[in-house]
Amino acid sequence: MGLFDRFFKGPEIDTAKSEANAKKMRALFDSVVENGADYRLIFGYTEDVSRFNYGFVHGSKTKIGNLIVGWNEAGETIVVVPTVPDLSGCGTPTVYRRSEILKAYRNKYPTDAFVIYPDRKGYLAINAYDWLDDEKLYVYVSQEQELAAFTDFFTHRFTKK
């Protein structure tokens, strides 16, 4: 990769670190979610820390909650497990069944987020990207294929108005 490519494409992904973090995410998810192996996983984050307050990240203007997000296509279910950037532990999972939510949609503005309204009291906005390299705030993981699959699932199977 030349200097031109690095400047416009950003730094290269550390594949070994990404794969190690993906394995840690899987182990944490499976340890707290029944039938965890039935779910595909992505890393996401939310600024809705009132709902997910495990391991607030301090030192920034916003408090960010790191999330391991699992989805099961057959059951039309999303499970969200709060974690911390170093994946040293996790909190209690929250299950979102399509049949039980009020509304879910993909909000493109101001950020590209997957928004779920489970009740009339609040909502969850999941932000997820191919990879994030700020390891103080986010889990370092490359997830282009999984994120594309989750986006397709959310947009075509989970969204409801």
Per-residue pLDDT at 84: 85
CA gap 130, 140 in Å, rounded: 10
Q: Is the pLDDT of residue 8 over 70?
A: no
As a whole number, the mean pLDDT across the chain is 84
Residues 86-119 have pLDDT tens digits of 899 988 899 999 999 999 999 887 778 999 999 8
Contacts of 35 (CB under 8 A, 6+ apart): none
CA gap 53, 157 in Å, rounded: 28
CA gap 42, 129 in Å, rounded: 9
Q: How confident is the model at residue 132 (pLDDT cuts 50, 70, 90)?
A: confident
Assign domain 3-158 to its CATH architecture. Roll (2.30)
- Any idea where the domains of the chain sit in the sequence? 3-158
